[in-house]
């Protein structure tokens, strides 16, 4: 009897896993973006001369779209 119950539970999980979604996913992929604050104090060794007042920011965005073509070299 335990085997039958276990088999029925397993069959129920398999049947639930085979179900399909009626609405397709239409999410727009986000582009990975990295930002960095550039400070002289973050350098090793720290900058202490006339350049010690410089600052800046860097923003890098990757466009990860693929062409769908064949890979010809790696």
Domain range for 47: 31-64
For residue 70, being part of any structural domain is answered with no
How many structural domains are present in the chain?
Answer: 1
The pLDDT of 33-52, averaged and rounded, is 87
Cβ 46 vs Cβ 40: under 8 Å: yes
For residue 50, being part of any structural domain is answered with yes
For residue 3, being part of any structural domain is answered with no
Average pLDDT value over all residues in the chain? 80
For residue 11, being part of any structural domain is answered with no
pLDDT at residue 34, as a whole number? 95
Q: In the structure encoding, which two tokens stand for residue 41, read together?
A: 């104090």
pLDDT at residue 74, as a whole number? 67
For residue 60, being part of any structural domain is answered with yes
For residue 72, being part of any structural domain is answered with no
Q: In the structure encoding, which two tokens stand for residue 1, read together?
A: 């009897």
Task: Please list the alpha-helical segments (H only) found in the chain.
Answer: 2-17
CA distance 18 to 11: 11
pLDDT at residue 20, as a whole number? 64
Instruction: Tell me the pLDDT band of 58, cut-offs 50, 70 and 90.
Output: very high
The pLDDT of 52-69, averaged and rounded, is 84
Residue 68 — left, alpha, or beta (φ > 0 → left; ψ -120 to 50 → alpha)? left
For residue 51, being part of any structural domain is answered with yes
């Amino acid at each position: 009897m335990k085997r039958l119950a276990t088999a029925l539970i397993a069959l129920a999980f398999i049947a639930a896993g085979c179900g399909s979604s009626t609405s397709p996913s239409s999410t727009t992929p986000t582009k990975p973006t990295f930002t960095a604050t550039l400070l002289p104090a973050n350098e090793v060794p720290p900058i202490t001369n006339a350049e010690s007042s410089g600052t800046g920011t860097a923003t890098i965005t990757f466009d990860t779209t693929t062409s769908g073509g064949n890979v010809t070299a790696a």
